[in-house]
Amino acid sequence: MFLAEYLRYYLRDTRKSSDGAFVFGVGDFHTVWETMLRETLLRSPFDTRRQWNAALPRPVYFHLNSDKRDPRSRGMQTDIILEDATGYTIVDAKYYEAKSAETAPGWTDIAKQLFYEKALIEVLSLEGRLPSRIDNVFIFPRNSNNFCLSKVEMEHVNGSPVSDAFSSIECVYVPMQDCLRLYVSRSHGIKLPIP
């Protein structure tokens, strides 16, 4: 619908322009970036492409002095979960410069990623199949990872490390042009460079 609407604008307005130039874009590029990554990331043969968001726990409110339960219609919404022979990778597509703490995802993004991990562990444990590992990844569009961030970890105010209750989140940079080229050709080829 979006493209059809702007095609109409293009056809209407190019008659007014001698060179036929017309520029338009999307208001929320994050969804485009997420979709392109979902379709171009290399997946293991063990990846079932399960619809994880439907399986993750959701919040339910309970009414005071009543048995009435009031569940939210929508729960956690991960971007991408990849499966392989030994575990899972929770991928969050981000559209930040990510060169410093000020230009990187904030507390809400970090907390959501850690909650996604806990929710995935909950679902898998109910199914009797705890994985040996779960990785967390933020992916940013960028041609080079020079002078960029490598990961985010929780630590105490004095700089000492926290317990393993908080996993680290790797920062991965993927060239937008490579992702777009693969997406247009309906190919997979983006490999996550995580240990």
Rounded distance between C-alpha atoms, residue 131 and residue 87, angstroms: 5
Q: pLDDT digits over 82-93, tens only?
A: 999 999 999 999
Q: What is the pTM of this model?
A: 0.83
Q: What is the pLDDT of residue 18?
A: 59
For residues 27-66, one letter each, b for 16 or more C-beta atoms within 10 angstroms of the residue's C-beta and e for the rest, the string is eeeeeebbebbbebbeeeeebeeeebbebbeeeeeeeeee
Per-residue pLDDT, averaged over 159-183, amounts to 92
Q: What is the pLDDT of residue 130?
A: 87
Tokens at 185, concatenated: 């050709």
Q: pLDDT digits over 33-71, tens only?
A: 999 999 999 999 999 999 999 999 999 999 999 999 999
